[in-house]
């Protein structure tokens, strides 16, 4: 009898031949714009039990660090899935689908730097950035516009076609840390009709990795000042720590906060900037505050 019961459960979990997995990994998701990469998808509890229900979607960068520490580049993952599951079960946040696209190590800096901000570089800025890129041993060729085309024209349509999504702007969010914070803010600025919410974690404002030369960072601020989307239709989260690389961030974030105010954003309403005293620039620190991030995006 137990064997028959087990077979029945297996059958119900494989309706139409499709296993009802809540974690899906797509190897080498093909793109016409950027290098192919792995994509991971997490479906919230109750997804299969409520086939008529649709869900908001959170897109995250550096996908190998989002769910599973076994594939994380640093042996620690954000564990966004387990935190989201806990918060959903406790009825603290709305259920959401989470999509994590992996980075491609050799192109990460080039794909995540806000490409149009380079148009504001002075000659000295360009030379400094070229020197940095040379040290990274990659070609001086910004790729963020192509990366966003991958997200908006390829990845999002695939997710909307194959999963039960709320595909409008209000229900489409994007999140990343460090350079991933920059590309997230760039995404909502370049495609304000697609992304309605953004979470920028330990955003890497000091492009040269310290504050000895802050001039290139000014180009990013000029871009943001001219392209930040409307506070009437968008919500933005920033945070930063105070240790390791994050020790350089506060002075930059304060300047961004002034831009936010000038653009009409209201703290506590459609914008938050959080300071985490003692927090370092690493996956463990970001894992520690995933609940804060998810509650900003999806709090009931």
> How much is the average pLDDT of 223-240?
98
The percentage of the chain sitting over the pLDDT mark of 90, rounded to a whole number, equals: 91
Q: How many CB atoms lie within 10 A of CB 87?
A: 20
Assign 106 a pLDDT band (cuts: 50, 70, 90): confident
Alpha-carbon distance 279 to 183, whole Å? 22
Q: Is the pLDDT of residue 161 over 90?
A: yes
Average the pLDDT over 223-243 and give the result.
98
Average pLDDT on 135-151 reads 95
Mean pLDDT over residues 22-49, rounded? Answer: 97
pLDDT (0 to 100) of residue 6: 40
The answer for 187, left when phi > 0, alpha when psi is -120 to 50, beta otherwise, is alpha
pLDDT category, 7, cuts 50, 70, 90? very low
Average pLDDT of span 145-166? 98
Is the pLDDT at 76 greater than 70? The verdict is yes
Q: State yes or no: pLDDT of 18 exceeds 60.
A: no
Contacts of 226 (CB under 8 A, 6+ apart): none
Residue 19: pLDDT band with limits 50, 70, 90 = low
For position 300, what pLDDT does the model report? 87
**Which of 131-140, 169-178, 271-280 is the least confident region?**
131-140
Lowest mean pLDDT among 106-110, 142-146, 184-188: 106-110
Predicted confidence (pLDDT) at residue 162 exceeds the cutoff of 60? yes
- With tokens 């997200």, the residue in question is 151
Start-to-end C-alpha separation, the chain = 43
User: Which comes out higher in pLDDT, residue 150 or 14?
Assistant: 150
Mean pLDDT, residues 27-51? 97
The pLDDT of 77-102, averaged and rounded, is 98
Average pLDDT over residues 50-78: 95
Structure tokens at 226: 């001219």
- Output the pLDDT for position 105: 82
Predicted confidence at residue 11, as pLDDT, reads 44
Mean pLDDT of the 159-183 span: 98
Average pLDDT of every residue of the chain:
93
């Amino acid at each position: 009898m137990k064997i028959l019961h087990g077979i029945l459960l297996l059958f119900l979990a494989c309706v139409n031949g499709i296993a009802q997995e809540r974690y899906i990994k797509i190897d080498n998701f093909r793109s016409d714009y950027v290098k192919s990469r792995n994509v991971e998808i997490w479906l919230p509890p109750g997804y299969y039990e409520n086939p008529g229900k649709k869900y908001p979607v959170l897109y995250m960068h550096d996908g190998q660090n989002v769910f599973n520490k076994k594939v994380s580049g640093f042996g620690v993952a954000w564990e966004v899935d387990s935190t989201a599951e806990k918060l959903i079960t406790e009825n603290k946040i709305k259920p959401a689908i989470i999509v994590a696209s992996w980075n491609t190590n050799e192109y990460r800096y080039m794909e995540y730097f806000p490409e149009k901000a380079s148009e504001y570089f002075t000659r000295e800025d360009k030379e400094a950035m070229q020197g940095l890129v040379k040290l990274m041993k990659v070609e001086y060729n910004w790729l963020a516009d192509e990366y966003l085309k991958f997200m908006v024209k390829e990845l999002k349509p695939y997710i909307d076609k194959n999963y039960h999504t709320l595909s409008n702007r209000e229900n489409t969010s994007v999140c990343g840390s460090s350079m991933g914070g920059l590309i997230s803010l760039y995404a909502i600025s370049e495609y304000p009709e697609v992304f309605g919410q953004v979470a920028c974690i330990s955003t890497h404002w000091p492009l040269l990795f310290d504050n000895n030369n802050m001039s290139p960072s000014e180009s990013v601020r000029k871009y943001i000042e001219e392209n930040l989307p409307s506070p009437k239709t968008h919500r933005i989260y920033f945070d930063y720590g105070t240790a390791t690389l994050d020790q350089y961030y506060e002075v930059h974030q304060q300047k961004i906060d002034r831009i936010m105010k000038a653009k009409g954003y209201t703290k506590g309403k459609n914008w938050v900037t959080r300071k985490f005293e003692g927090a370092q620039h690493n996956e463990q620190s970001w894992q520690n505050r995933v609940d804060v991030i998810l509650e900003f995006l999806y709090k009931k």
